[in-house]
């Protein structure tokens, strides 16, 4: 691209946002970065690792992934984790969020067969992080269910999966909990359930929108609660760690000031976010009332004997609510929401249950991902909404980031981080929201699910055409390194 054109685009991008805040993040604020097992590890069938649903899905339906890509090798972090930790050390981050591969530890999905090579791999990763002064933030499940468990019904099979996940969690706590003090049970379970068992576009590719997607969510929430109680009762006293579940959402802005659009936006965030957050994080527990009412009403009209949304018993509500030590929040972008009259009965789906219209403003700056527009003010609104809705919890932003084509001079990512972090800092200093951590997604370019390797989120570029998977720091790595060191978003802060 012509240099003058690049300069014009950068000036245009920067002029779209106000100047970032010139105050420092609090002394106790922690910065980190993240990856996930299937997206970076590779070694998909090495050293006793079992097959997971993404292994099976990408091998069975390669045409569903951009350029028929898969995670067989990915960033090869299974072999290059020490190089990754050198990158983390250079960034100066306080923590590294990564996920365990269930199939690498338990090849058949159950504790009857433990793969010691997988256990040793994660022990080595954790040990090396700690030796370099980096805290491990560990996610138990980031979308990669062992394939043998999917063949038994997967997440909609509540009776099976709650106990199997609990066994896996207990094993992980016992193996790694002496060094790991921050646990996340599930990452973005909505993507697992709605995209995997509703729309069927993610692994395992089951299309049961508004039926199995609800069953999946019900299982995941119960499994999280059981894992939390296991930690609380068996490990907390000796390990003194914390447990949470990552819930993700966009911000949903009413398309107008009308009462109808405001109600539509609230309904959308309750179905999108409250679906998972309310049972765990809300003082009252249970699913959002608007969700309970609407799914029941539409189910009855559709001829179902009972609501398609499973019910929690009063005892389950009490058992699940409050099962967190901090609020894990992933967020990237925003949407506009307009009121819609109910979708026609007979359209059995999660979308029909919500019955709203969402869209993104065409004036918002874009990324390499069609769904990701740059809307930093939406994050400030979202974390204020979380603060008020869920009784002022400690919030850790466990993912936030920007995709491009992988260029080293990634000014768009720098602007994104600067503006989003500025809005987060304003929420802390001006609104009194208790945000204590921020996690940049991601440490390096990696396998981005249906996008394969076409959408790059990394602070470090990875050359996927090179057998060595060479990592190279981008301009944004230098920017983030400076932010971590100074706790300041500009060259000179006022405090």
Per the document, the length of the chain is 495
Positive or negative torsion for Cα 466, 467, 473, 477: positive
Q: Which two tokens stand for residue 43?
A: 């070694």
**Active-site entry in 399, 419, 448, 455:** 399
What are the residues whose beta carbons fall under 8 Å from the beta carbon of 56, sequence distance 6 or more? 147, 150, 203, 204
List beta partners, residue 312. none
Tell me the helices (H) and strands (E) count for the chain, helix number first: 20, 15
Cα-based distances in Å from 333 to 114, 127, 200, 299: 40, 35, 23, 31
Please tell me the distance from the alpha carbon of residue 134 to that of residue 96, in angstroms, as a whole number: 7
**433 Rama class: left (phi>0) / alpha (psi -120 to 50) / beta:** beta
Residue 250, judged by CB atoms within 10 A of its CB (0-12, 13-18, 19+), counts as buried
List the Cα angle 217/220/397 in 5-degree steps.
95
Neighbour count for residue 425 (Cβ, 10 Å):
24
Please tell me the distance from the alpha carbon of residue 442 to that of residue 458, in angstroms, as a whole number: 5
Strands (E), 350-412: 356-359, 365-366, 373-374, 395-400
Question: Quick one: which of 284, 275, 283 has its CA closest to 310?
Answer: 275
Q: Which two tokens stand for residue 452?
A: 């394969």
Rg (CA), the chain: 22
Please tell me the distance from the alpha carbon of residue 187 to that of residue 441, in angstroms, as a whole number: 13
SS3 270: helix
Whether 399 is a known active-site residue: answer yes
Positions marked active-site: 399
């Amino acid at each position: 691209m012509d240099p003058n054109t690049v300069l014009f685009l950068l000036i245009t991008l920067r002029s779209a946002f106000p100047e970032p805040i010139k105050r420092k993040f609090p002394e106790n604020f922690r910065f980190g970065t993240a990856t996930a097992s299937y997206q970076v590890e590779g070694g998909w069938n090495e050293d006793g690792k079992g097959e997971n649903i993404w292994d099976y899905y990408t091998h069975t339906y390669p045409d569903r992934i951009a350029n028929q890509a898969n995670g067989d090798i990915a960033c090869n972090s299974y072999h290059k984790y020490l190089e990754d930790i050198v990158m983390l050390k250079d960034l100066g981050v306080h923590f590294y969020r990564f996920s365990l591969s269930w199939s690498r530890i338990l090849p058949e999905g159950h504790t009857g067969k433990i793969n010691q090579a997988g256990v040793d791999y994660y022990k080595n990763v954790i040990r090396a992080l700690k030796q370099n002064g980096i805290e491990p933030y560990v996610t138990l499940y980031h979308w990669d269910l062992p394939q043998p468990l999917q063949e038994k019904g997967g997440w909609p099979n509540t009776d099976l999966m709650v106990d199997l996940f609990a066994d896996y969690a207990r094993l992980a706590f016992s193996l790694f909990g002496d060094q790991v003090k921050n646990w996340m049970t599930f990452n973005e379970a909505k993507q697992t359930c709605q995209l995997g068992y509703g729309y069927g576009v993610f692994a395992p590719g089951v299309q049961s929108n508004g039926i199995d997607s609800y069953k999946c969510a019900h299982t995941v929430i119960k499994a999280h609660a059981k894992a939390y109680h296991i930690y609380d009762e068996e490990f907390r006293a000796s390990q003194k760690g914390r447990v949470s579940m990552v819930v993700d959402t966009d911000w949903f802005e009413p398309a107008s000031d009308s009462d109808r659009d405001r109600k539509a936006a609230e309904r959308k965030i309750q179905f999108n976010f409250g679906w998972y957050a309310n049972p765990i994080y809300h003082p009252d527990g249970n699913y959002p009332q608007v969700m309970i009412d609407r799914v029941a009403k539409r189910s009855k009209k559709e001829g179902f004997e009972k609501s398609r949304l499973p019910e929690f018993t009063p005892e389950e509500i009490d058992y699940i609510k409050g099962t967190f030590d901090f609020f894990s929040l992933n967020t990237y972008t925003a949407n506009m929401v307009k009121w819609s009259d109910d979708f026609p009965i007979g359209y059995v789906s999660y979308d029909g249950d919500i019955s709203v219209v969402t869209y993104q403003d065409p004036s918002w700056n874009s990324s390499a991902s069609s769904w990701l527009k740059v809307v930093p003010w939406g994050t400030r609104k979202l974390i204020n909404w979380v603060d008020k809705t869920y009784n002022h919890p400690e919030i850790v932003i466990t993912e936030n980031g920007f995709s491009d084509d992988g260029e080293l001079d990634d000014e768009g990512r720098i602007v994104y981080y600067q503006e989003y972090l500025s809005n987060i800092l304003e929420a802390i200093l001006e609104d009194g929201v208790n945000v204590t951590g921020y996690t940049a997604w991601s440490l390096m370019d990696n396998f981005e699910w249906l996008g394969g390797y076409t959408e790059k989120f990394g602070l470090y570029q990875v050359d996927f055409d090179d057998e060595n998977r060479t990592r190279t720091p981008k301009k944004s790595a230098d920017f983030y390194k400076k932010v971590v060191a100074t706790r300041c978003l500009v060259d000179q802060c006022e405090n």
